[in-house]
Structure 1
Amino acid sequence: MAFIALGINHKTASVDVRERVAFTPEQLVEALQQLCRITPSREAAILSTCNRSELYLEQDHPSADEVLAWLAGYHNLSLEELRACAYVHQDDAAVRHMMRVASGLDSMVLGEPQILGQMKSAYAVAREAGTVGPLLGRLFQATFSTAKTVRTDTAIGENPVSVAFAAVSLARQIFSDLHRSQALLIGAGETITLVARHLHEQGVKRIVVANRTLERASLLAEEFGAHAVLLADMPQELVNSDIVISSTASQLPILGKGAVERALKQRRHKPIFMVDIAVPRDIEPEVGELDDVYLYTVDDLHEVVAENLKSRQGAAQAAEELVGAGVEDFMQRLRELAAVDVLRAYRQQAERLRDEEVAKAQRLLQNGTAADEVLAQLARGLTNKLLHAPSVQLKKLSADGRFDALAVAQELFALDEGSDKSSQ
């Protein structure tokens, strides 16, 4: 039995290679079944994201080369090209790798939480495909449990490390209750989309999306139950906005000091929190000079992100220790499972020998042999048969000079060297 974790990720392969090795959701079930059919893998799961494609396998004997050959062939890559950027982890190293991935310790953004959900999806798809059995299934459950412990017992995922999340977190520090706040988002690109998602998750009362084209603003607004307007409508919306976050591709500022001053007067100087994520800036720097305006730039946010990353790196050490404990616990349980199989086989053998001796004793009783004699013969016969195989093997081990095995046998049968003398 061997566990293998094999794949490529953002550290080892370029975007071009990662795109070519990625599996679409539609491919996964068929790919998993083919993987188990063509390679020596008895159990398999595939994790495929924008940053990594990894195969988690259970095999009788480790054969990573055959799996690499299958992976290269499946995606029409040369084996040499794939081998140059692939990594292979085996047994406890494979277990550790899976647990580190699920805990966000191997992610591009340290501690990011999405990867755990992606790994749970990979497990669900493998179960659907019928390629996860008892061993890989136990490993996934242990991995999820360890990742949960890391999330619960460390601060690795607490502090925001994206600009969008940092902007929303700053807003939460200024407005203790975002449920009563209105946000004006300027732009409709990827960063503003992330900001809208975070604000929506925080339960902001109302979100307005302002953009040069109403169609683009409407698409984003529809996703989060927001309201879409054109940039020309910003002055009216600014009056009711407690939070303003801007990220456009404009080469010139689109929100000036005068417009903000007029809005503040109408708001009776109720504070406005502003974040300008754009480069070049969307909001005139002079706006920050106004009383009742809290203006942050993308540089301010990068400082927050850097500080939070430092905090996460401090938590990562504690997380690594928890992963180490998770690996040790899982491998110990696995070793115990191996003993269970041996014990089951030994018990079956002993019960077969017992049944044979009981049947012999019953025949003797039916033939009129005295009960005392039958019981004595049953005891001798059962003892001799139970001791026969161990005796033969111990003599052979002794003849071969395997004194270490003899010491193990002494421990296994709980034998005390002085027991015979003390009983005399």
Structure 2
Amino acid sequence: MEAYNISRGKYFYTVGLSYLKADAEIRGRFSLDDEKKKALLEQAKEEGIDGIIATSTCNRTEIYGFAQHPFQLIKLICDNTQGSVDEFQKVGYVYKNNDAIAHIFRVGSGLDSQILGDFEIISQLKSSFILSKEIGVANPFLERLTNSVIQASKRIKNETELSSGATSVSFASVQYILKNVAEVSSKNILLFGTGKIGRNTCENLVKHTKNDHITLINRTRDKAEKIAGKFNLLVKDYCDLQEEIRKTDVLVVATGAQNPTISKALIHTTKPLLILDLSIPKNVSDDVLELPNVTSVHLDQLSEMTNETLERRKAYIPQAETIIEEVKSEFIMWLETRKFAPTIKALKKKLKTMKDAEIDFHRKKYADFNDEQAEALSNRIIQKITTHFANHLKENSNTSDESLELIQKVFQLEETAKA
């Protein structure tokens, strides 16, 4: 559809990979931290891409943007991660135009989340758009689209129970601990990493385990202290990690590191130790499983847990999809309006040129000619004419291409409308 062709020969695509086909190891190779995101957007800018958003979470890496061919966007991902084009072709996906728009709505509304109803992705989309805007690769299309997805997400939260109860991987981890660790309130719990998932996990641990001796460790101590202060918890230095692991019963790893931070060499305890790895890429080395006292669980395994809460949420999917369709339709209508805006602008310019010529003619012909009144009157007529044309195009979107062509021919706007 020409409506999407708003960037001079480019079309709107979503390219990415997710938990649906890519396991944690592959998602890790394609993950983008903040620095990689910036590098990707800067590269896109250098290559002349004027509209692009890049997101990367524990269960997906995606680009939403304009390109002549989706391979331009796939290459951007591969150039800025450890993933290869061959790997992407095996597990990745590409959506174009309407399908790409529908996909971002489903992602932002929690319908495509690893845990149904998990809305944490919407804050990622917000921050990703802000970064694109700062770097100068966020066009009006992406701004309107992002705001529409945020609107749909808010409505689904407020008007349905799709997100009833806790909805995230961090909550699933706490559910797992409660189910598998006896007398959890008396156990030593160590949280390593205080990014967003770490913070949410910490809050859920305090709320649901009734445990008042949770220890936090982060590479940057002041970040851990801010969170610890909120919940009145203990903070230890990064250099104390090995010693704290020796004491703990449950270790939750939620760092943003690109390589494993916990390995067999760090574990010097013979008592049972449960390790939950909530990181992408994986931050717990597989060699910990060589220790007979260690149980290691990755977030992909946690996300497979089904319970009554998740089953209950499925009933609200149709209601959520209806809301998405309403908001998406409003966005498409705006997009259609945007398609004919250049022609309306060109028409207004042409009418103004005709008006100026007529006023000049009558100014010379009549000695008492009133310029001010003539300007006011003719400007109102021009506004009414262009408004009529705009309303006609809005109300007859199925034939708008033919109407645009007719307007351009009648008023000889071909060159002006393309300018």
Give deviations 1:358-416, integer Å, cap 9, x for gaps: 223333447x9x99xxx9xxx9xx99xx9xxx9xxxxxxxxxxx9x9589979xx9xxx
Instruction: Provide, for residues 231-280 of structure 1, a one-character-per-residue CA deviation record: whole Å limited to 9, x for no partner.
Output: xxxxxxxxxxxxxxx858999899xxxxxxxxxxxxxxxxxxxxxxxx99
| Distance of aligned partners of 1:365 and 1:209 in 2 relative to their CA distance in 1, 3 Å threshold | closer
What displacement does 1:348 show?
1.0
Taking the aligned partners of 1:88 and 1:304, their CA distance within structure 2 comes to 28
The aligned residue for residue 310 of structure 1 is 311
After TM superposition, list the pairs within 5 Å mapping 1:235-254 onto structure 2.
none
Partner of 1:159: 165
1:68 to 74, 96, 99: 74
| Matching of residue 15 in structure 1 with residue 24 in structure 2 | yes
Q: Secondary structure at the match of 1:56?
A: strand
Contact 1:110 1:312 survives alignment (8 Å)? yes
Say which of 1, 5, 11 aligns to 2:14: 5
1:25 to 34, 41, 65: 34
In structure 1, the partner of 2:59 is 51
TM-fit CA distance, 1:222: 4.7
- Once the 2 structures are TM-superposed, how far is the Cα of residue 113 of structure 1 from its aligned partner? 2.5
Superposition deviation, residue 192 in structure 1: 11
- Structure 1 distance, partners of 2:114, 2:95, is 19
- Quote the Cα distance in structure 2 between the aligned partners of 1:363 and 1:112: 71
- The alpha carbon displacement at 1:164 in A equals 4.6
Cα distance in 2, alignment partners of residues 302 and 134 from structure 1: 36
Shift in CA distance, 361/349, structure 1 to aligned 2, threshold 3 Å: same
Question: Partner residue of 1:236?
Answer: none
1:361 and 1:313 map into 2 onto residues whose CA distance is 71
SS at match of 1:45: strand
1:359 maps to a residue whose letter is D
Distance across 2 between alignment mates of 1:123 and 1:342: 29
Secondary structure at the counterpart of residue 7 of structure 1: strand
Q: Which amino acid aligns with 1:73?
A: D
Total equivalences in the alignment: 304
**Equivalent residue of 2:352, what SS?**
helix
Report the TM-score when normalising by structure 1: 0.58
Contact preservation (8 Å) 1:18, 1:52: yes
Matches within 5 A, 1:374-393: none
* C-alpha displacement of 1:153: 1.1
Partner of 1:352: 353
C-alpha displacement of 1:66: 2.3
Conserved in 2, the CA contact under 8 Å of 1:18 and 1:51? yes
SS at 1:207 equivalent: coil
Find the residue that maps to 1:57 and give its secondary structure.
strand
Change (3 A) 1:201 1:130: farther
How big is each residue's C-alpha offset from its partner over 1:292-329, in whole Å with a ceiling of 9 and x where there is no partner? Answer: xxxxxxxxx99995111101111222212211222111
Q: Please give the secondary structure, in 2, of the residue aligned with 1:158.
A: coil
Find out whether 1:226 has 2:227 as its counterpart: no
TM normalised by structure 2 equals 0.59
* Cα drift, residue 47 of structure 1: 0.4
Gaps of 5+ in 1: 171-181, 211-218, 229-245, 255-278, 281-300, 391-401, 414-424
**What pairs with 1:160-239 in structure 2 (closer than 5 Å)?**
160=166, 162-166=171-175, 183-188=185-190, 196-200=202-206, 207-209=212-214, 222=228, 224-226=231-233
Letter of the 1:225 partner, please give it: N
CA distance in 1, matches of 2:199, 2:186: 12
Q: Secondary structure at the match of 1:58?
A: strand
Paired-residue identity, %: 19
| Structure 1 counterpart of 2:123 | 117
Work out the CA distance in 1 between the residues paired with 2:330 and 2:90: 33
Indicate whether 1:98 and 2:104 are aligned.
yes
Shift of 1:187: 4.0
Taking the aligned partners of 2:339 and 2:403, their CA distance within structure 1 comes to 21
Q: Classify 1:365/1:252 alpha carbon distance in 2 versus 1 (closer, same or farther; 3 Å).
A: closer
Partner residue in 1 for 2:333: 332
Match of 2:50 in 1: 42
Instruction: Tell whether the 8 Å contact from 1:184 to 1:209 is kept in structure 2 after alignment.
Output: no
SS, match of residue 63 in structure 1: coil
Whole-angstrom distance in 1 between the partners of 2:139 and 2:402 = 33
Task: Kindly provide the amino acid, as one letter, of the partner of residue 122 in structure 1.
Answer: S
Cα RMSD of the aligned pairs, angstroms, is 4.8
Q: CA deviation at 1:37?
A: 2.4
Give structure 2 stretches of 5+ with no counterpart. 1-5, 216-223, 236-248, 252-266, 274-291, 294-301, 390-398, 411-419
